[in-house]
Amino acid sequence: MVQDKDSIEEETQQQINDKQSEGQIPIKDGAIFHAFSWDFNTIRQSLPMIATGGFRSIQTSPINKVFDGEDGGMDLYGDGKWYYHYQPVDWKIGNYQLGALEEFQKLCDEANQYGISIIVDVAQNHTTMKQMPFQKI
């Protein structure tokens, strides 16, 4: 039998509530789901699956504004520029790869409803230039 999204979410939320009330899954003992290079909306849409999997936290890629030169893309291989997540240009939340501040806030609000915490990866020891330092000759 195939369940619809609403019934899965209701069932998932009830399972989480039951486990939380029984003290079965404190965050310090929970598993972390590493959503490497997942955008905020993809993570948010996947919350029922992540919660059903028993994860208590989700770690995102760095969420601050990042370098976006050279036709940056989201692919992990080929022409993708996933490593731009680790080239922050300032400390404002939101970038072209993961999404805007408002999308991040929606993710956090909805994750909280599932009892899931959001952990953000941060490249805090540097920022990079907003443009390529070298030009091809």
pLDDT of residue 23 exceeding 50, the answer is: no
| DSSP conformation class of 70 | T
CA distance 114 to 78: 35
Question: SS3 for 61?
Answer: coil
CA distance 66 to 39: 14
Residue with tokens 């599932």: 114
Q: What's the CATH class of domain 29-120?
A: alpha beta
Residue range 45-75, pLDDT digits in tens: 999 999 999 899 999 999 988 877 666 566 6
Task: Give this prediction's pTM.
Answer: 0.70
- 64: closest CA among 123, 135, 134? 123
Residue range 92-128, pLDDT digits in tens: 888 888 899 999 999 999 999 998 999 999 877 777 7
